[in-house]
Structure 1
């Protein structure tokens, strides 16, 4: 059943994580089963998503976490927040639970019409193939939030993948296992047309647009020049954090990684440029920082989008892997299967520390992530 409702007075003026967390706190029983019908999963753009203000396209997703048992807010970049904002949608709230075995897509067109569409044909499909098929069916100007096999299998590390401006599901709401909640609801994806023109009215559009221009100029001229975010992204943190002895390494038994310079932000940027990738990719709608990147292999073929600090420390530092190609492949696999790179990297590190495989064994790490995708006993 689909219902369209006005925003309750208690939630007026809220958006993003403020809205999702307050709603979960108020409406979800604290002792409920996170994968049961009493839990809710809420998708909320920010208050200013869909406007002319830059850097406002992050989607907040809230639910009771199956990983921690607490209120969880996980967020992602990409295109869906801006798409929802242009439709004047404050939140999409999923309640109850579909009959066991059912799988659906929630589709929202450019007029704001909502439909629940059977998605059995996509069961078990990984996210890259799934999004490719969705864009073929709905058009290139479609924003997608989806789960992979891990979410369908309700794994506690399951992520929700968000499509970037190129239509790749390489942005992740990774923390807290919210992909498992989405899977428990029988929801494979939320698909939103980016062509909406039903955004909430702005009281003084002229003044707002002028202020938006001023902010964009400040960010471009001051923030980016000072912080080196565009050429290196968050991977710029590898060198300084390692130099402080705080880079989580070898299952966090050390704070300095041997060979860290091979996976630093500087090394990554140099390798990407050499191979013809992109170190200043615009991954999220209306972003002016361009801290994303496109990592390619030796032949210039796409491997993954936005190789970031968090993935480098979890898949590199924690596991002792100092090869960027291996880390990039692990990042792609996590996005494709639909699991959080940080929690997955830590799990691999624990297995290595326990003697299952040796630290630094990139081939073994890839095999372990594939076990997750296959849903084997070890992978689960």
Structure 2
């Protein structure tokens, strides 16, 4: 590292949404340009619940990014009330499934097929515990009477704590944490090494006030929604701490602009084109650039039992302004997080 450049092992993104079709073809190359591997979320329509569906989706991703990208998509299985534990275990054994994603039904985009009662999938958790397969949780309760800003804290109390108590060897990732409550809870389990958390770029940058500054900004609406400033600061402290339980997961989630700017806009922020640069900005602001490699490139592989990349990337402290949007083949623009705004770090191709 110098004052103007930073070289780290090639990072991985442990939480991405690629969608499918034209959208997949437009967005996947942006992730592959920066990251060596990515955990791919299975909330398509219909959801990815079988080995064959995951294999086919992986093939479509590889066609979109090209073999020359040197990119590996890590596929996940969408957990439903009727999930087949044998199918999941076989997929893990074959190297098709890297993990299982647990969406509470109705929690976010394309989650209607998710789990309605956690006890319905306890037999699957038992099998996953036996074979060492990670469970990735969208950590929000979905009770309509619950304030949207309290959904994560209540999930820890009502759902996650019982899972950890009932399955003491199950490895769990709390995805895209947004609260100090989650940071503190993950740290409380640090000695076990079985609970980790991904942190997005956008939750390190925005708080809930930013969504409403000068009007409603639909492109800053995501689930879990951004919280108060004290929570954003807690996330920044955790991400830049170097602690093994916290690692990079962008939750990049593209939607066409018309789907965001509508009477009932979709949840999701598309960060893929500016992800590693945004993280670098944050770590620089926190005087923690020496911790970026651990967060982006080392902690995730270690938790998943994989080797860190032998490749490297270099970031340059160069002011630049990314494009505001990308377009799909259908001509639908997708708004880029940070697009049209100056960034202080840039990935060197």
Using structure 1 for the length normalisation, give the TM-score: 0.23
Which structure would you say has the larger RCO, counting Cα contacts within 8 Å and 6 or more residues apart?
Answer: 2
Using structure 2 for the length normalisation, give the TM-score: 0.24
